[in-house]
Structure formats: C-alpha cells, structure tokens
C-alpha cells in the first residue's frame, strides 16, 4: 500500500511541478492509517499473548508484557526463570519504541486505545534548493518519521541531480516485527521449548 502511494507520487511529479526548496504534503492516507493502527494493535496483542504463555509455563497469572520479567523472577524452575528474566529485560529495553519504559510516555498503542487516533504519517514530496533532487516520504505519524534525519532518512546533499529518493514506514515496522520475534524465540529457547537454528 505504501509503495503504491510512492509510485503514484513519482508518476505525478511532472504534473505537480514542485518549486526549489518547497514541499507538498497531505493527501488521503486513511487506508494506510487503518492498516497501521491494526498493525500496532496486533503487535501489542502478540506480546500480551506471549506474556500469558510464559506466565503459564512458570505457573503464574500474567496478562501484561511489561510486568512479565518481574513476575516470573525466582519462579520454579529457578535456573530457567533467571535466564528468561534476563532475556526479557534485555529484549524489552530494545522494544522501548513499542513499550516505553516505566510508563514515562504513552505508547502508540496506548494512545490509540485510550486517547486519540494516531496516523501512519503525512505524505510529503520535497524538492531541495538549487537542484532537481526530490524526496518522497511518509513523515511524522506514530513512528515520528523525520526523513532528513540521518538515522531514518536521506540527507538531501547525498542525492544525485535528478534523483528521486523515498523514505518509507515499512522498514521501521519490519524492524519492530524482527525485534518482537527475537524476544519471543529467544525466550522460548531459554525455556527449552525451541532449539537454536
């Protein structure tokens, strides 16, 4: 879906005719917003189901992933619960964008569930000063995409003349899935439920 939007923007670039140093933002991204919101809820629910399964293994009633490491700490079998607690603590630190530590800020899921709608981002086309370098991006949104940040996007000075660059939400979400998978499979491995590949 995101790629279709980016392809559409590329196709209409000659018609839009963006001036140097200007940007065009907006557009109807409702369908992408709905898919993004469903993704956020599904990812969090996966973590909650996972917490229940780990709690059941250690014979504890667990319904929330943030408290899991604390609840199973010292449970029997103790050698396994200690290893699992360490894996959980390390992995949950790496998921701070999905599960902010100590409830210091609201996660995207919590905002969606309790406070407000959160969109996937705003469609944006930018043309750099003094050139024909174009950036097509999804900006802002729940993942706070900032396309000119070196970590997330592309610096305008590295684009070749006439080059069209894109910044996408999909790699950010794929990375979240990968980190959640690492948490789940790493924990199940320490519990003796999976073997290492």
Q: What pLDDT score does 163 carry?
A: 61
Q: What is the pLDDT of residue 161?
A: 57
- Give residues with Cβ within 8 angstroms of 98, minimum separation 6: 43, 44, 47, 107, 108, 109, 176, 179, 180
Q: What is the model's pLDDT at position 148?
A: 61
Q: Write down the pTM of the prediction.
A: 0.85
Residue of 26, 8, 10 whose CA lies nearest to 162: 10
pLDDT of residue 77: 94
Which helix (H) or strand (E) segment is 188 a member of?
A: helix 170-190
Q: What is the pLDDT of residue 112?
A: 93
- Of 187, 195, 191, 10, which Cα lies nearest the Cα of 94? 187
Average confidence (pLDDT) per 10 residues, the chain, 197 residues: 81 78 83 96 96 96 89 93 93 91 82 93 82 81 76 45 72 95 95 82
Q: Is 162 helix (H, G, I), strand (E, B) or coil?
A: coil
Residues 6+ away with beta carbon under 8 Å from 37: 112, 117, 118, 120
Output the pLDDT for position 154: 43
Asked whether 145 and 137 are in contact (CB, 8 A), the reply is yes
pLDDT at 165: 67
pLDDT at position 189: 95
Whole-Å CA distances, 147 to 107, 112, 124, 129, 153: 21, 24, 10, 16, 4
């Amino acid at each position: 879906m995101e790629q279709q939007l980016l392809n559409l923007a590329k196709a209409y670039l000659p018609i839009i005719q963006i001036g140097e140093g200007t940007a065009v933002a907006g557009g109807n991204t409702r369908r992408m917003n709905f898919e993004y919101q469903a993704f956020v809820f599904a990812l969090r629910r996966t973590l909650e189901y996972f917490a229940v399964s780990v709690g059941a293994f250690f014979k504890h009633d667990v319904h929330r992933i943030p408290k899991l490491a604390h609840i199973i700490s010292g449970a029997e079998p103790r050698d396994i619960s200690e290893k699992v607690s360490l894996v959980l603590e390390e992995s949950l630190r790496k998921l701070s964008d999905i599960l902010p530590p100590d409830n210091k800020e609201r996660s995207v899921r919590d905002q969606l569930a309790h406070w407000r709608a959160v969109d996937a981002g705003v469609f944006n086309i930018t043309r750099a000063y003094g050139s024909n370098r174009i950036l097509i991006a999804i900006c802002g949104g729940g993942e706070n995409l900032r396309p000119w940040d070196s970590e997330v996007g592309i610096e305008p000075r590295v684009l070749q003349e006439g080059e069209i660059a894109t910044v996408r939400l999909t790699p950010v979400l794929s990375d979240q899935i990968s980190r959640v998978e690492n948490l789940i499979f790493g924990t199940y491995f320490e519990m003796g439920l999976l073997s290492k590949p």
